[in-house]
Amino acid sequence: MDIILVSSRFAKARTITLNGRHLIFAATLIFGAMLAVAFAAQHAISRFQPEVPGTQTELQQKQQSYLRDGIDALAVRVGQMQAQLLRLDTLGSRLAKLSGMRPQEFNFEQAPPQGGPFVPAAQQDISMSSLERQLANLSELLNDRNDKLVAMETLLLQDNLDKKKFPSVAPVSEGDYSSNFGWRIDPFTGKNAMHEGVDFMAPEGTPIMASAAGVIVYAGFHPQYGNMVEIDHGNDIVTRYGHASRLLVTVGQVVRSGQEIAEVGSTGRSTGSHLHFEVRYKGIAQNPRRFLESAAS
């Protein structure tokens, strides 16, 4: 192929001869330029257009991962609440026993019975955020109820301890009243005199028991009471046990309610084998039968 170039700058026309190799090379250059332009355009488009998820599978995987994370978080919260409920069940059982309730009245091992007609709500679906809020509120309520029940248990335990320090146990298991509290004819002088306790007629050697828990503040011989034990129960309450044949405790010893502290005898100012039992509040003699009968009722 001949190409003739004519120009005012040239003195004469010039002729360029192109053979087949020249044409193939030119076509190759043109094709390469077109490819370069295409790649450049594609790169520009991919760089400046907004990012779009590649496939539907990736979107589904992200949704499943989000749901798994939410379910795991809810499972942890439910586990914590189950532990709280277990503590409340245990605490409730202890409170029921402390308060004297019958086991069938409050059975903490069974869910409370429920029922009634189904009335659907306006919106039945519960969102994840709404469920998390409800669980958080319920967890706070459980903690609050646990604190209040623990405080109630403390009060009940304190009340039971106070009752154990309250003269409520008969000092002898067997024995009839031979002389009551109050004014009577004194067996030694025959005159009217105040009897500041009650007498239990019982054979010598019969066990004498502490009417309540306390500390021994006197254990020895007294001219009037004979071998006597005196127990301080706190709250200004003191009990006395007189005319014993033998003492089994010492001063400073702590005794529990119903513990044997002496044996019945007839020492001191006594006409026969019996126990003289007194209850004093702030140093003033009280009728022991009132304490024992109120504890039995």
Residue ranges making up the domain that contains 19: 2-47
What pLDDT sits at residue 59? Answer: 78
* Beta-bridge partners for 262: 208, 247
Lowest-pLDDT range of 25-34, 85-94, 146-155: 25-34
Its sign, for the CA torsion 146, 149, 153, 154, is positive
Alpha carbon 148 to its chain centroid, in Å, reads: 9
Same domain, 206 and 285: yes
Same domain, 86 and 155: yes
Same domain, 254 and 186: yes
Same domain, 283 and 209: yes
| Max avg pLDDT among 48-52, 75-79, 185-189, 213-217 | 213-217
Q: Is residue 110 part of a domain?
A: no
Higher pLDDT, 94 or 14: 94
Same domain, 242 and 148: no
Mean residue pLDDT of the chain comes to 77
Same domain, 134 and 98: yes
Q: How many domains does the chain have?
A: 3
Same domain, 212 and 142: no
Q: Is residue 113 part of a domain?
A: no
Same domain, 180 and 292: yes
Same domain, 86 and 6: no
What pLDDT sits at residue 32? Answer: 58
Q: Is residue 119 part of a domain?
A: no
